[in-house]
Amino acid sequence: MRTTSFVYKADPVRGTQWAQRFAQQAPELAFRIWPDIGDPHAVRYLAAWQPPDDPLALLPNLEIVFSVGAGIDQFDLSRIPAHIPVVRMIEPGIVEGMVEYVTQAVLTIHRDLFDYAAQQRAEVWRERPVRPAASRRIGVLGLGTLGQAVLDTLRRFGFQCAGWSRTPRTLDGIDCYAGDAALDRFLGRTDILICLLPLTA
């Protein structure tokens, strides 16, 4: 009987950590780290940052593709057959990393750090007016796990926070908009726009 395989195609150091977890939690699966895929016909599951160009030709019995990132922007979905599900994985490290990245970007814009960096290169100094966070309107497209975590953090700085999603949501301290009819109103009240919509939406 052929053993079912799970192939990991991303950072090999992280792959070693995955291998340890699989050995503990799913010992019945043969866990393999790319490019050591073993018998290609045994591979049912693939976790990747970027899948191979023609995954089904290489792995003819592939059933599911998992993205090791929060999104799948780096995937060429045209190369993945429609019958194979593509699954995004959310774990605390991904959420924390996205919150840190977005917070840094918002504060950089809010405090005019791009302008100050340009001044530094030009060896000039022109003080910029300080705008209070309460007067800055933040908008997040996408109210999934990442969007909610980002808004929860930015709200604590005192920003006016709003979010848009395809279906109605209710979040404490957040002005929520939903559907195509509300998109223009949402964009019209936004100074800094953050897009966290998944391609799987």
The number of folded domains in the chain is 2
Residue range 67-73: mean pLDDT, rounded:
75
Write out pLDDT tens, residues 82-123. Answer: 899 988 877 778 889 999 999 999 999 999 999 999 999 999
- What are the backbone dihedrals phi and psi of residue 43, each rounded to the nearest 5 degrees, phi first? -80, 120
Q: Please, which pLDDT band fits residue 71 given cuts at 50, 70 and 90?
A: low
Question: Same domain, yes or no, for 15 and 74?
Answer: yes
Dig out the tokens for 159 from the structure: 């920003």
The tens digit of pLDDT for each residue in 153-169 reads 999 999 999 999 999 99
Whether residues 37 and 131 share a domain: the answer is no
Judged against a pLDDT cut of 70, whether residue 59 lies above it is answered with yes
Q: What is the pLDDT of residue 118?
A: 93
Q: How far apart are the first and last CA of the chain?
A: 38
Instruction: Residue 139: give the domain boundaries.
Output: 93-195
**Any domain includes 85:** yes
Look up residue 170 and give its two tokens.
């209710």
Tell me if residue 6 falls in helix, strand or coil: strand
99/82 same-domain check: no
Q: Count CB-CB contacts under 10 A for residue 22.
A: 17
- Residue % of the chain over a pLDDT of 90: 75
The reply to whether 78 and 118 lie within a common domain is no
pLDDT value, residue 69: 75
Mean pLDDT, the chain, rounded, equals 91
167 domain residue, yes or no: yes
Name the percent of the chain in helix, strand, coil, to the closest 5: 40, 20, 40
In a shared domain, residues 82 and 45: yes
Give the SS3 label for residue 163.
strand
d(CA 62, CA 66): 11
Let me know whether 29 and 113 are in one domain. no
For the domain that residue 143 is a member of, what is the CATH number? 3.40.50.720
Phi then psi for residue 75, to 5 deg, are: -85, 140
**What is the percent of the chain with per-residue pLDDT over 70, rounded to a whole number?**
96
68 and 98 assigned to the same domain: no
Q: Does residue 201 lie within any of the structural domains? A: no
Are residues 75 and 98 both part of a single domain? no
Structural tokens at position 35: 């490019």
Same domain, 67 and 108: no
Domain boundary among 51, 71, 89: 89
